[in-house]
Amino acid sequence: MIMRSHDVSRDPVGALLAEAFPYQHVLRADIAADLRRCPVLLIDPPNKSFFGNVVELAIGLALCDQSPYLDLLRCLDHALAKRVLTMAGYRPTIDPATPFDAWRRTDSAPPARIFTAASRLAYVRSLVNDLDRRRFDAGDVTRDLLERYPRLLIGRPTEIYHTRCAFRTAWDSYSSGFHSALRSYGPATAQLPLLDGHRHADFLLGTTLLEVKSGRLDEDTYLNELIRQILTYALLARHDGHHVTHVAVYAVRYQRLLRYPIIELTNQFAGAPIDLAVTGANLAALIRDRSRREPAA
């Protein structure tokens, strides 16, 4: 991949990854060929971003042994947060007043209840992300907005109905064997913060970093972004001290789970053995510097 000077100035992270790993196109071609052979789920949710968030959050609620997404739960009043966790199969370990970070999953929840819990959290996430982009104190402002306008957590009936239908199809596929496969990788941490929150990986399962993709992956643009994500997260996770041995992608729409040893993958991308510690440190410094230079909105 050749990057012109104006592209480098706009995207220094992409430039660093392209220089360190010039053979990313090999994996892109392999994934594209693999996915073309997969049976594609016939789903067309009205709001694809919302649907993707619901699927990811539902998987997190189903995989984690200890209550995940505490940053989102803290945006809700205590009673509602308790209902959300209870719907997803979590219970307090000591008494009902136990802080939510001590709640644990005690049983599997029916898909309809998982969907309701995940959709509530998806609306919270959407608010938080929008406010964060505007440089607000996202958590506090979201909490205040939801207290004043609780219907923000319900959404439009038609959107919820069609999203629920698409979710049911995706969840049937997920439950057919993908859940067991992901559980086999090890204990789950959802929304893993990297580099002091500058980036977040969807999941760390044991020593495997997992990205969940609910949308299309049938164009080079989508696959390039996917490869960039897994490279970035793997490098930052190791830089942060996480023992990461594999990266994985669960392509929901294509009913495919892909998993790669990180050392073999990065050596293939680089064309020779590469020092991941040095590359990760360079990437971390670049992201921190870029964050400091970003102008306030």
Tally the residues of the chain.
297
pLDDT, residue 130, reads 84
Nearest Cα residue to 143 out of 73, 96, 200: 73
More confident residue, 146 or 69: 69
Tell me: the pLDDT tens digits for 218-238?
999 999 999 999 999 999 999
Residue 93 has pLDDT above 90, yes or no: no
pLDDT, residue 294, reads 62
Question: What angle (nearest 5°) sits at the alpha carbon of residue 246, between those of residues 244 and 252?
Answer: 125
Q: Which residues contact 265 (CB under 8 A, 6 or more apart)?
A: 27, 247
Q: 3-class DSSP state for residue 259?
A: strand
Tell me: the pLDDT tens digits for 21-77?
999 999 999 999 999 999 999 999 999 999 999 999 999 999 999 999 999 999 999
pLDDT, residue 81, reads 94
Prediction pTM value = 0.92
